[in-house]
Structure 1
Amino acid sequence: MFKLTSPPRMFAIISLLMIVAMVVGTGLIQAPFFRQAIIEREAVIVRDMVNALASERGLAASDLQNYTHANASRRLNQSFNALKMLSGTARIKVFSPDGTIIWSDDPDLVGTKTTTHLDRLTRAMGGEVLAKFNPVATNIDMLEQGSPIPATIECYVPIFSRETDEGASSVIGVLSLYRDPQDLNRTIEHGLYLLWGVIGGAGLVLFLALYQLFSLVYNRQRNAESKFSKLTVEHERIVQIEKMSAMGELVGEIAHQLNNPLVGVINLTQLAERQVQNPQRVAELLAEVRKAGTECRDIVQRILRINQISRSAPQPTDIKELVRDTITFCHQSIALHHAVDFVAPDEKVMLNVDPVLIRQALFNLIHNAILAAPDKQVHVKLAFAEHEGVPGIVLGVTDAGSGFTSEAAALLFKPFFTTRSNGTGLGLPVAQHIVMKHGGAILAKNLPVGGASFSIWLPSITTL
């Protein structure tokens, strides 16, 4: 079921709201610019028409100065009466240079100086064409009996004359025209509808394209997550199978290790039963049974020691001192023909590790190196080194033995695998488990000059 809060639906809602806001906002912002551009254009048209009419009727500066004379009044009427035919015209005023109204469609205004926009009148006298939209009610006559109209378009256009000797034009008066903005508003409204339609259509196309893209990416992400989830479950199942397989293999090895001495115990007890009349022989057989039992006990204890490795107590440890203590312990517990050589940097090396476990891992490597070549010297080296780009330290143990074969290399860290007749096969697996528990790695390689090198790498920052 498609939920209300699903990402595709949320994307669609937010996108549509943004498109609506963009369309409405664009219309509201553009409307004033459209209106001003239109009224400025119409003001220029009015200027050209007024000056064309004035020129055609021969209107001169003297007519504006003597506007009360019959001839001047006739020419003024002939020049500006045609403006009354313009649609939406609300009031027409013609000002002389001193600001007196010399002609108007309302005769009561002639001879007065009624205007609230002296600044606009002054600028128009300078030759500018001014257009202004008044959105609020305005009393265009500034008379007590005048009634305000809701909104107006107010234009101030200069009236030019070419009577100078140089033929240059000069401003002889200003005409102000007030018009009802209904026609203009309808034009702007149609323009806004067209603008909103274009922007809305483009926004809708963009929305559909983005929605399709988002849905495609979202569905692919969901499919990828679903597949990854299935892979994760499958991976966990495979890991579990591998764990069970490893456990079965370990149990098989343990059973094999225990089976040999137990078979001997059974055989020896059967012999003892047949030799019951020979006490001396029975005593010898019982001694063999005790030896086999001791071997079984040792195997079980070694397995228990592996389990104890899982418990650790990390603490700041001086690695150089730890190596020296381990080498001293080797000298005391193993018959050595040569002292173990140790090389380390001069500075102090501190790591947060479990010293007991690291000492056990290092002892196992040194012990194996001594057994590999009892008559040769074993070398231990401590150095700073990176592993896969991570800074840390490396403890290298090198022997002068015969090394290991490629077949043995694949089994070095397998529990109970050993190449010595009296080996337990647990030294290297225990060392590897300890090192991995500290976030490190144990590396093994044959040396070109003979012998083998086993290295313990530990990160500078260990986590247990």
Structure 2
Amino acid sequence: MPRINILYKFSIQLFIITLIVIMAMGIIITNYIISYYFQEIMMRRELKMTADFVQTHAQNWLEPENFLPPFTDDTQAKFSKVFHGIVTIRDVVSLKVYDAGGTIIWSDRRELIGKNFMQNKEYQQAMKGEPVIVLEPIRRVDHAYLAELHTHLLEVYVPITLDAKSKTVSGVLATYKTATSLMGDIKKGKTIIWVVSLGAGLLLYILVFIMFYRGYKKEEIMTNNLYRLNEELSSFNRIAIVLSSSLDINTILHDSMEKTLNVLHKGAGRIFLLDETSNELVLAAHKGLPDDVVSAFKRVKVKEGILKDVIDGKKPLLMPEMEGHYCVKRFMPADINTWACATIPIMSMDKVLGIMEIMCPGGGCNLPMESQELFSAIGHQIGDAVAKCNLFKEIKDMKENLENLVEERTRQVIQMEKLSSIGEIMGEIAHQINNPLVGVLNFAQLALRKIDEGQPIREEVETIEKAGTECKDIIQRLLTFSKKSRFEKSREDINCILNEGIALVERQFNLKGIIVEKKYAEELPKVMIDATLMRQAFFNLINNARQAMPNGGKLTIATSAVSNPSYVRWVEIRISDTGVGIKKENLPKIFTPFFTTKREGEGIGLGVFVVHNIIKRHTGDIHVESEEGGGTTFIIKLPI
């Protein structure tokens, strides 16, 4: 309203000033310039016409003697004949012919003949050979007879020169015309001048008003833009406060959605987050939308269209009319014209994280195109907040995972220490058992030497010796696995090392119904290995195979010598079982320390990891092939 008052006041002031200028200029031009020059031009024209007419007729019909007395009736008749044409001219009211002495020798009014007006200055000037024309009110004595009829007279005094060579003035013809036509023409001219002046003034008023209006509108646009920028900055700050108030992504998205709609004075909107894996937009926040719309658009596939254009272009898209928007068509009734909508990319570090849609159900959307930068800034601001929340969640999850990992590793280290202690205890126990067992075995062997064949007690003593020998072999194997040794390589027979590993669990194989098939290559080259470590590696793999076949099965162990085109030779060992197998997603993690698929108490996930390290320490290679429910094969290659 204040700005409208400014324009209204200016238009009135400009009109008054223009009117004053027009009146002043009109008065000056008409009264002091136009009237003067217009009157002069018309009087000169009148003077020239009368002078030419008089001179022509006088020279053709009059003689110098006609201006000398005596003035007879013939002279009067001649003058009447010569100047009769002038008398008939419109506005001519009287004619007078003066002789050189100033006496009227002829007139259309006979009562004036014989009178002398020597004091008439116009007559005196005409006697000098100069035609004279004057416009003046009736006030002189020689005007008395016309006073009742007219107020102003146009008097023309024409010198009559009959001798062209001497140019002697014989007399003067005085013509009296009414000033009615002249004054009418002058008045008409003044009217035209006033009309032109008013038109010019009006045009000037319009031009000045247009110039002012343009400047006013420019200033208004600048003011509105400044006001809009201030509003946008204020809105941006309000949204920034909301985004900085929490690190919970759901809270951030819902609060930013609500605040953005409040800032834009809109009632409906939604925020999608982009799932890059499925290339879908997942509904994360919404407001003002019907329940069926919310349920129908939980996930939106990014296809050709507005959503894809916004994601690919990374710029907000403002649509003056959204009737063609497939999203709008699907949830808005057909009889409602929907004007929408701003589709804003939510971005962080030039990466699109999602989109925000501002909807206007029922029409009436008037989002300004000038606010595109604001929408882009809001999208970046929300995107940065989402990225911050995601980063915080990742750090939080990482912290929890690290805490769980530390707890698990601590438990595993404790378990390893327990196992190490058990190993040491087992070695000590085996050592303690071994001493008396040697005594028992020696006494049994000594007794057999003293007992003759065929005696009943000899069979029992042989049983004692056999059992003692088996116990001694088991204890020796336990001592071999429990003792600590340096890494010492020597050429060993892989087939023998494998047999030793099988022997440790052969009893368990028999109890569970596991068949062992050996496919050893004959004359297999010996390899440089640490026998103790390699024995431990094979035992771990064979024992794992046993545990993978709780209901029985078949264990196949094959060895072979192979080479490649580069003549690199190695021994290949394949240990295959028909057990439960390994899931596909777990295969990449099979050699990771502490990774296990066994139930708690059955293992800590170090067996295969230890095997991997032992094989790599021997510059060998190991990999696994497995299918869930289809068994597992470990393939080991050791350089010859």
Indicate the TM-score class for this superposition, using the shorter chain for normalisation.
0.3 to 0.5
Q: Which has the higher contact order (CA 8 A, sep 6+)?
A: 1
TM-score, structure 2 normalization: 0.33
Larger radius of gyration: 2
